[in-house]
Structure 1
Amino acid sequence: MSVSTAVREQAWCLVVPHHARGAGLARRRLAHDLGGLVSAELLSDTVTVVAELVGNAVRHAAPLPGDVIRVAWRLRTGSGDVAVEVRVTDGGADQAPMPRQVGPEAVDGRGLAIIDALAQRWGVIRDGLGQCVWAELYRPLLGPALPVPSD
């Protein structure tokens, strides 16, 4: 006898300006889309990671054509956990993103350390058009599975 667990996925994409206000737009949209679908802890951590990734893209990378950044997230439930994958795509930078060692008095430089602390995995994909920094966050599924969206 075989037991299978259904895996459900939902995905969203947003294009924001390559400007500091882009992080706020991405945070609000992600919180709206995932609110009620994931735990408060996972939502808070995911919003923080997206804000850090977009902020880093604005500060350290070139924009995509149109002076924008692409932000995407995917929600997956099944197999006893809920996972959110976020991707921030920009026009790239001279150097790949790397965590920095900063002192306690530093006013910046902690973004990737925060992402590393909150996400189970993260990485960078570079291609000829730019770069995508991605992160995966997951938690045990508590309670019933997410409802299947109706079309």
Structure 2
Amino acid sequence: MPTQLQPAAPAREVTERLSPTPRGARLARRLARYHLDGWGIPYDSELSNAAEAIVAELAANAVTHGRVPGRDFELRLTLHADTLRVEVSDTRAERRPPQEPEPPEPDAESGRGLVIVAALAVEWGVAGRPVGKTVWAELSLVAQHT
């Protein structure tokens, strides 16, 4: 039977600008967990863990494939009544991820990030912006219990 987690407020949003470095990507992941916990989504809950994994993958892609020296990337989290939206924006519009990521070869050292995002998210996509692009993913706050 589906149950709904109760966030601390019906709608919340936070935006953080971070350096396009591995350190910035790690900070994005930590900030996501911190803000989610403050919104009533506890550390180590299924939703917090899924959101952390999505932020980690999207932030890593932003600093690896979307990096422009001297320009930050942006993390935005938006919590609505039944949805958590994760957005990571960078300034490289020409480097768009594939619509449907394919799993890499078993011995490949990279290429799993968007496969993980697609598996965890209810929906995900890419949106253009005046400078660059935003890769977004949505998670449902409705947890399924079997």
TM-score range relative to shorter protein: 0.7 to 0.9
Alignment of 1:77-92 (within 5 A): 77=81, 82-92=82-92
Structure 1 gaps, min length 5: 1-6, 143-151
Which of 22, 25, 32 in structure 1 is aligned with 2:24?
Answer: 22
Query: Deviations along 1:17-67, whole A, 9 cap, x unmatched?
Result: 00111111111111111116125000000011001001001111133x842
The alignment covers a number of residue pairs equal to 131
Q: Does the 8 Å CA contact 2:33/2:48 hold for their aligned counterparts?
A: yes
- Taking the aligned partners of 1:29 and 1:20, their CA distance within structure 2 comes to 14
SS in 1 for 2:89: strand
Does residue 73 in structure 1 map to residue 77 in structure 2?
Answer: yes
Larger strand fraction of residues: 1
Q: Does the 8 Å CA contact 2:15/2:75 hold for their aligned counterparts?
A: yes
Segments ≥4 residues shifted beyond 3 Å: none
Give 1:94 shift: 2.6
TM-score, structure 1 as length reference: 0.79
- Taking the aligned partners of 1:16 and 1:72, their CA distance within structure 2 comes to 11
Structure 2 gaps, min length 5: 1-8
Match of 2:66 in 1: 61
Does residue 38 in structure 1 map to residue 38 in structure 2?
Answer: no
Which of 119, 122, 136 in structure 2 is aligned with 1:120?
Answer: 122
Please report the RMSD computed on the Cα atoms of aligned residues, expressed in angstroms: 2.0
Q: Does the 8 Å CA contact 1:121/1:136 hold for their aligned counterparts?
A: yes
- Taking the aligned partners of 2:143 and 2:115, their CA distance within structure 1 comes to 26
Q: Does the 8 Å CA contact 1:62/1:93 hold for their aligned counterparts?
A: no
Q: Does the 8 Å CA contact 1:90/1:131 hold for their aligned counterparts?
A: yes
Structure number with greater CO (CA < 8 Å, separation at least 6) is 2
Q: Does the 8 Å CA contact 2:13/2:77 hold for their aligned counterparts?
A: yes
Which of 27, 49, 57 in structure 2 is aligned with 1:52?
Answer: 57
Give 1:93 shift: 4.4
Cα 1:75–1:105, aligned 2, differ >3 Å: closer, same or farther?
same
Query: Deviations along 1:74-131, whole A, 9 cap, x unmatched?
Result: 1112xxxx32101111002433111244111111001000000000000001133110
The structure number with the bigger radius of gyration is 1
Q: Does the 8 Å CA contact 1:60/1:93 hold for their aligned counterparts?
A: no
Report the AA paired with residue 23 of structure 1. Answer: A
TM-score, structure 2 as length reference: 0.81
- Taking the aligned partners of 2:121 and 2:49, their CA distance within structure 1 comes to 12
